[in-house]
Structure 1
Amino acid sequence: MKELALRSDIVIVGGGAGGLELACKLGRKLGPSKVTLVDSRLYHIWKPSLHEVAAGTLDIHQEGLSYQMLAHDNGFNFVFGPMTALDAATKTMTVGAIVAASDNDEVLPERRLAYGSLVLAIGSTSNYFGVPGARENTISLNATEDAERFRLRMLRLMLAAEQDQEEQDGNGHGQGGGLDVVIIGGGATGVELAAELREASGAYVTYGFDQLDVRRDVRITILEGAARVLAPLPEKVSDAATKLLEKRGIRVVANCRVTAIEKDRVIDKDGKVYPSKLCVWAAGIRAPELLETFGLPLAKGGQVDVDAQLRVKGMPDLYALGDCAACTDGNGNVVPPRAQAAHQQADYLVATFLRQSKGEAPQSKPYEYRDYGSLVSVGRSTSVGSLMGSLRGASWFVQGWMARLMYTSLHLMHHRAVLGTLRTGVLALARFLVRRATPLVKLH
């Protein structure tokens, strides 16, 4: 292991929505000698768009933003590698080696990084709740490689279904096996993925998969344990999403508790069997198990226990934000694992560290979570959701193209935070033009 050759006043581990925004905003104020971002990947994808990557309607090679480019443009330092260990007593962390997959050569050695303040923003992973076969026989959309693995498997299975139809009936009227996709979990990820897959499967037909009847041969089922999909959102939003899904030929099964998952089928508590050639787990999240090795105070879900200032309890100069943090804000509200929470927490810590850099006392005002509502994409042309008003408990139901426009603006707001207004506008225009010159789905 190398000696302590690296040091930074502020180290942020995890380049997701919250961690990256924090690094960019602090870097522009303090510079690369003060701010360092550590991540195990070389480029950033906005996690709420992973369902589009999985469906093939978004190309990760066009969408990804290079961390090295962002570091150069925003004035922070980037260290490539996974965090593998933490020594809070000496205020050092270990960044694991990078090994080339092609020939197993070591590209970067294991390094140790000393810090003044450390922010953990490493996100979340799937919670399988002990369901037999869930880990082995499902795909979870936790990262870009998961989404790309799903897309490639979906493409192979559609090719097989197309070939099967041709063998059944040379005129394209056969009754082949088709493709069964089961999505376990009717939250935002499950609903958005189901809708995107339906539109993508229709697009594949226009690019040569003309032996397939989309609704007959690509069967999509959502299994939800609660009484309705999108259970945390208002019932009106849930009902609207269900109708839109069913209109697209997507089967929704509520009050369905999955008890076992095998290679080609899913079994619920009543013994009912759902055939499945491709199964997605979207039924819950938990903090990465890596946190259990750091000796930090953890909540029930494995998240780091933080106070209302986002400081790890009993650990000075150590902070956490986003999905990996168990936070109760200054109003006593449990902060949900949402992108808007990570965005707000990043802004709160920007103020904290800027005061710290000026030698001022820490801000006494605790972090307060503000719920601005939720929007869920149900395909490329429409969204549904609720917007929170200024009056306590008041909300407005939104649906259709206006909701879709607002949903798209969330992605643009994130890009604006890390790229700036002008570059975000240019990038949005460029992607609009590229979509007009490329297939509607990625075909390779």
Structure 2
Amino acid sequence: MKTDHRIVILGAGYTGMLAALRLARRTRRTGARITLVNPSARFTERLRMHQVAAGQELADHRIPELLAGTGVAFVRGRATAIDPRARRVSIEAPAVAPAGAPGAGAAGPAGPAYHTLAYDTLVYALGSGADTSLVPGAAAHAFTLDDPRTAHEFATRLPALAAAQGTVVVCGAGLTGVEAAAEIAESHPGLRVTLVGREAPGAMMGERARAHLRRALDRLGVTVRTGTTVTAVRADAVELADGELLPSGLTLWTAGVRAPRLAAESGIATDARGLVTVDAELRSVSHPEIYAIGDAAATRQAWGPVHGTCQSGLPTAQHVADALAARLRGKRPKPFRFGYVHQPVSLGRRDAVIQFTHADDSPRRWYLRGAWAIRYKETISGSPLKLYRLSRRLNVGATLSRGGRATRRPAVPAQVP
């Protein structure tokens, strides 16, 4: 079945990139035109931003190179508005859109270029970031791991702070905060690193995995403050709920999740967090021509909501690529099914812990630690670049588990035809 169906993917992170590559392969005989939009031409490995923040250099992967030979058009720019009725996306770009980009309009005057992209189907993969609006001063005085430039700026300040035996405070004791605190402490032994959070680090893990994680933080000299909340971030300190001030030469904010406002501002149905509300096929319940993937989507399974991780995000990208390809061939896709398998956590470059889980992410008895955990993490849950390269030639699966019995019935009924 030949078509000139226009597919626009917003966001070239882990999920957007896989969706583009898999769609290119699955629709190559249909004539579908795929455009991938992203503000930067560099592919950002979000799961490794704690390494950048600690001062490590990552490989420089360029989006056009990853897409070369696939037929996917790349447009460098930021989506500023979506018009679901007209099926057009407004783009602000640092330069004129590539001549071959489908649906691109004329560029504006000198400075940023403004144009639009028309679509028949939109894949919304803009992800989310740390919520610095939770407490006063966080946006002004704390760094986040949302952008490699910000993480790099944070890293450039660490050597001088370490020489002065200064303090870094990491706000948020979830797995992102744990990985960041461990990486920074290992890379800069002269620093005093404090991890602050409501719950104990690794609270979702089993007792043995949690104990190993805590021993690793102790070994690295990380001070852990739990059972408290941050009420304000100052230029040189973090204020706790009881009024105590923790001195901080640098503050890293990893608490909370905030979705871009683009979907809600464009009239697309979202939940209270700004995530796109989707049906069992991952289509918007208000606009079925829009799919949402990764942590931009309010995805549910029968056991409850799916929280945003690379482990869950890549399967949503795979599902949407396959579902959209099926629809272009006149077939009805099956509902999305997913179950968690593990909780992998880096503890610096020389240690890690893997907690194996049930489909609903609750801990099983089994876990890995140390060298075996490092090997497992690098092989199973490391960089998805190998998956991307294979996806150019093969329909490689990104789903480790479909959830078994826990997902045999969809969490929500399909609400769009």
How does the TM-score come out when normalised to structure 2?
0.84
- Does the CA-based 8 Å contact 2:172-2:254 persist in structure 1? yes
Deviation at 1:129, TM superposition (A): 5.2
Match in the other structure for 2:413: none
- Does the CA-based 8 Å contact 1:28-1:75 persist in structure 2? no
Deviation at 1:8, TM superposition (A): 6.0
User: SS of the counterpart of 2:119?
Assistant: strand
Match in the other structure for 2:128: 124
For residue 76 of structure 1, the aligned residue among 68, 72, 76 is 72
Do structure 1's residue 337 and structure 2's residue 308 form an aligned pair? Answer: yes
Do structure 1's residue 66 and structure 2's residue 39 form an aligned pair? Answer: no
Residue 408 to residue 393, structure 1, CA distance change in 2 (3 Å): closer
Output the CA distance in 1 between the equivalents of 2:304 and 2:370: 31
Residue 393 to residue 221, structure 1, CA distance change in 2 (3 Å): closer
Deviation at 1:35, TM superposition (A): 1.4
Match in the other structure for 2:195: 222
- Does the CA-based 8 Å contact 2:231-2:241 persist in structure 1? yes
For residue 20 of structure 2, the aligned residue among 20, 23, 33 is 23
Q: How does 1:95-110 map to 2 (within 5 A)?
A: 95-98=91-94, 106=110, 109-110=113-114
Match in the other structure for 2:226: 254
Residue 379 to residue 83, structure 1, CA distance change in 2 (3 Å): same
Aligned sequence identity (%): 29
Q: How does 1:38-49 map to 2 (within 5 A)?
A: 38-49=37-48
Deviation at 1:408, TM superposition (A): 1.3
1:384 maps to a residue whose letter is: V
Match in the other structure for 2:368: 398
User: SS of the counterpart of 2:187?
Assistant: helix
Match in the other structure for 1:149: 153
What's the CA shift string for 1:60-114, capped at 9, x where partnerless? Answer: 4xx13111111214331111100011000011111113169xxxx9476211101
What's the CA shift string for 1:193-233, capped at 9, x where partnerless? Answer: 1111122114xxxxxxxxxxx2xxx100000112x112233
Residue 389 to residue 260, structure 1, CA distance change in 2 (3 Å): closer
Do structure 1's residue 192 and structure 2's residue 163 form an aligned pair? Answer: no
User: SS of the counterpart of 1:420?
Assistant: helix
Structure (1 or 2) with the larger CA radius of gyration: 1
Residue 415 to residue 249, structure 1, CA distance change in 2 (3 Å): same
Match in the other structure for 1:86: 82
Match in the other structure for 1:438: none
Residue 130 to residue 191, structure 1, CA distance change in 2 (3 Å): closer
- Does the CA-based 8 Å contact 2:280-2:335 persist in structure 1? yes
- Does the CA-based 8 Å contact 1:24-1:75 persist in structure 2? no
User: SS of the counterpart of 2:120?
Assistant: strand
What's the CA shift string for 1:141-179, capped at 9, x where partnerless? Answer: 112122112112224434xx3xxxxxxxxxxxxxxx521
Output the CA distance in 2 between the equivalents of 1:221 and 1:40: 33
- Does the CA-based 8 Å contact 1:8-1:36 persist in structure 2? no
Deviation at 1:283, TM superposition (A): 1.1
1:178 maps to a residue whose letter is: Q
Output the CA distance in 2 between the equivalents of 1:350 and 1:97: 26
For residue 340 of structure 2, the aligned residue among 371, 375, 379 is 371
What's the CA shift string for 1:373-429, capped at 9, x where partnerless? Answer: 111000111111212368997441111111111111245561122123999xxxxxx
1:197 maps to a residue whose letter is: I
1:354 maps to a residue whose letter is: A
What's the CA shift string for 1:351-374, capped at 9, x where partnerless? Answer: 11221222x2321x3112210111
Q: How many residues align?
A: 375
Do structure 1's residue 140 and structure 2's residue 147 form an aligned pair? Answer: no
Any unmatched runs of 5+ in structure 2? 97-108, 394-417
1:397 maps to a residue whose letter is: Y
Cα root mean square deviation, aligned? 2.4
Residue 96 to residue 395, structure 1, CA distance change in 2 (3 Å): farther
Deviation at 1:136, TM superposition (A): 0.8
Match in the other structure for 1:271: 243
Deviation at 1:128, TM superposition (A): 3.2
User: SS of the counterpart of 2:246?
Assistant: strand
1:271 maps to a residue whose letter is: G
Do structure 1's residue 9 and structure 2's residue 13 form an aligned pair? Answer: no
**Bigger proportion of residues as helix:** 1
Residue 411 to residue 236, structure 1, CA distance change in 2 (3 Å): closer
- Does the CA-based 8 Å contact 2:130-2:258 persist in structure 1? yes
1:34 maps to a residue whose letter is: R
- Does the CA-based 8 Å contact 1:55-1:151 persist in structure 2? yes
Q: Mean Cα displacement is larger for which, 146-155 or 243-252?
A: 146-155
Output the CA distance in 2 between the equivalents of 1:332 and 1:245: 32
Q: Mean Cα displacement is larger for which, 261-270 or 24-33?
A: 24-33
- Does the CA-based 8 Å contact 1:97-1:106 persist in structure 2? no
- Does the CA-based 8 Å contact 1:98-1:106 persist in structure 2? no
Match in the other structure for 2:378: 408
2:384 maps to a residue whose letter is: H
User: SS of the counterpart of 2:239?
Assistant: strand
Deviation at 1:311, TM superposition (A): 0.7
Output the CA distance in 2 between the equivalents of 1:327 and 1:125: 17
Q: How does 1:275-286 map to 2 (within 5 A)?
A: 275-286=247-258
Residue 262 to residue 93, structure 1, CA distance change in 2 (3 Å): same
- Does the CA-based 8 Å contact 2:263-2:269 persist in structure 1? no
What's the CA shift string for 1:3-39, capped at 9, x where partnerless? Answer: xxxx962111011111111111111333485211110
How does the TM-score come out when normalised to structure 1?
0.79
